[in-house]
Each structure stands twice: as C-alpha cells, then as structure tokens.
Amino acid sequence: MRSTIDILGVKIDKISAGYALRKAEQMVRTPGVSTIFTPNPEIVMAAYEEPEFKEILNSADMCTPDGIGVVYAAKIIGTPVPERVAGFDLVCGLLDSLRKTGEGVFLFGAKPGVAEAARDKLCEKYTGLNIAGTHNGYFSDEDNDKIIKEINESGAKLLLVCLGAPKQEKWIYTNKDKLENVTLCMGVGGALDVFAGVAKRAPEIFIKCNLEWFYRFCKNPSRLGRFAALPKFMLTVCKNEKNKRSFS
Ligand code: UDP
C-alpha cells in the first residue's frame, strides 16, 4: 500500500531512499509498465499551474521527493517525508542492482552522442551492466514510432527517459502502453548528461548541506528563470497552508 502526501495537489511518496530502491527493483521484475517520476519544486510548481501535467504526475506508481524544497514543504504542511530521494541517486542504485541481475537498460534522451557516451561510462562504472540501446532526445513526431520500435526490440526492462520536465513525463504517459518489454519507465532529467560527463553533479558537501540547487545555479546562472520557481513554490506552499489553517 502506497503512503503519499499532497503537495500543491501532487502526490509525493513518503519513502526513504532504501525503500524507493527496493520498490523500483520490484517494479523492474513485475510484468506491466510501472512509472517513477522525480518531482522537484520546479516540477511541482509547473503541475500546480497546469492541471493536465498534475494528472500525469499523479498517474505514476511512485513520485520521489526530489529536491530539498519538496522535503521542506512536506514539513511545513505537517506531513514530513523521511528524506530527500533524488532521482539520480535512485537510478545509480538501480543500475548497480541490474548489473548483477542482467536486465537491460535503454537510455533515451539528451543531445546526439550523449546517451552513447553515457553508455560507455556506465559500462565502465557498473561492470556487467547491460545497456540494451540508446537514442537521443531530439526527434520529430514522425520518429516517435521508430523509437518505440527500437526500445521494444532492445528487450530493455528499464527505460530512462531524459527529455527534461514536463516533456519526459508527458512522453512516458502517452507512450507507455506501446512498450512491450519495458517494465519500469523513469523520468530523470539531466541524468544522461551527468553520466556522460557533459554536466557535473554538485560535490558531495553541497548535497549533504542541501545546497545542490545553489551549486547548479552558480554553475549555470542563465537558469535563473528556472530557479525563480523555488521561492515561488515555497511561498505558494506557505500561503496555501495559512489558508487551510484559517478555514479549519
Ligand atoms: N532534452 C532532450 N530533448 C528535448 C529537451 C531536452 O533530450 O527536447 C534533454 C537535454 O538535452 C538534457 C535533459 O533533457 O539532457 C534535461 O536536462 P535538465 O538539466 O533541464 O533537466 P533537470 O535534471 O534539470 O530536470
């Protein structure tokens, strides 16, 4: 039975990193397509403003509390989650597990060449990992069926969709029923860029101090518009909570 909390209408799982990994491993081994999304404050805010996107997020089998802002918001509304569960860390745990059991992984997304570079790096890091196929994330609507065919023929069980939000969640929602062998689809943003070495994850000290967002902002100030979603998200959560209390 899932235990979720509601943040601005988005269902977030009340899970630890260890539990999320066990559930994801189970999903890979369960017939039918399961989905995992990893909403951070920017994604939750986008869903708050776009009901259709909110429904898509809420259709997932698991939404991890990615982003420290989501963890703080959960605390503010009185339904804390055990810890932050970053999609990237969950994927790393899952790849380590799949390298031992042999299920295939398909890497879908990022600029041409990045998924292949990620494959090479991942095979070095996770000895025995079966990367069953790759495809870049810049494609036309006409190419979509061809991509699905490639994914199906690869026999991959785990499909990592890295098209950025909300494109990746919408792609998964629209196409998951066409997948024949995949048992778990995950939307994990810029993960392939990090695996390929095109982008860097924040140093451990920033992650430990809950300042990964700050590191990413300093590295890429042109994303200021995207980071503005964070204060907007916190303000909206506080405002909604205040309204709820004054009505109860
Ligand atoms: N991307 C893609 N197709 C698109 C738009 C984006 O494959 O049409 C990729 C982009 O190249 C990058 C990833 O999606 O690899 C999104 O990265 P971003 O850093 O925005 O994601 P985040 O981790 O911040 O959600």
Burial class (CB in 10 A: 0-12, 13-18, 19+), 40: buried
Beta strand extents in the chain (DSSP E only): 4-7, 10-13, 34-37, 62-63, 105-109, 131-135, 158-162, 184-187
**Interval between CA 242 and ligand 1 midpoint (Å):** 35
Q: Which two tokens stand for residue 178?
A: 């066409």
Average of per-residue pLDDT values in the chain: 95
pLDDT for residue 229: 86
Q: How confident is the model at residue 241 (pLDDT cuts 50, 70, 90)?
A: confident
**Interval between CA 43 and ligand 1 midpoint (Å):** 13
Give the position, in ligand 1's atom list, of the atom nearest the Cα of 43: 25
Residue of 14, 19, 3 whose CA lies nearest to 73: 14
Other CB atoms closer than 10 Å to residue 214's CB: what's the count? 14
User: Would you tell me the crossing angle of helices 51-58 and 167-175 to the nearest 10 degrees?
Assistant: 60
Tokens 């630890």, residue located: 16
pLDDT for residue 38: 98
Other CB atoms closer than 10 Å to residue 155's CB: what's the count? 15
Give the position, in ligand 1's atom list, of the atom nearest the Cα of 40: 25
Residue with CA nearest ligand 1 atom 5: 163
**Interval between CA 155 and ligand 1 midpoint (Å):** 24
Which amino acid is located at 245 in the chain? R
pLDDT for residue 219: 82
User: What average pLDDT score do residues 15-30 get?
Assistant: 98
Whole-number Cα distances in Å, 68 to 24, 42, 63, 167, 212: 21, 11, 14, 22, 9
Residue 248 pLDDT > 80:
no
User: What average pLDDT score do residues 199-203 get?
Assistant: 88
Asked whether the beta carbons of 62 and 3 are under 8 A apart, the reply is no
Q: Pick 210 or 127 by higher pLDDT.
A: 127
Residue 195 pLDDT > 80:
yes
User: What average pLDDT score do residues 187-203 get?
Assistant: 94
pLDDT for residue 220: 81
Residue of 110, 104, 103, 70 whose CA lies nearest to 86: 70
Residue with CA nearest ligand 1 atom 10: 110
The percentage of the chain sitting over the pLDDT mark of 70, rounded to a whole number, equals 100
What does pTM read for this prediction?
Answer: 0.95
Give the position, in ligand 1's atom list, of the atom nearest the Cα of 226: 24
Tokens 């629209």, residue located: 174
Give the position, in ligand 1's atom list, of the atom nearest the Cα of 216: 24
> Ligand 1 — pocket residues by CB below 6 A?
109-111, 137-138, 162-165, 167, 189-190, 192-193
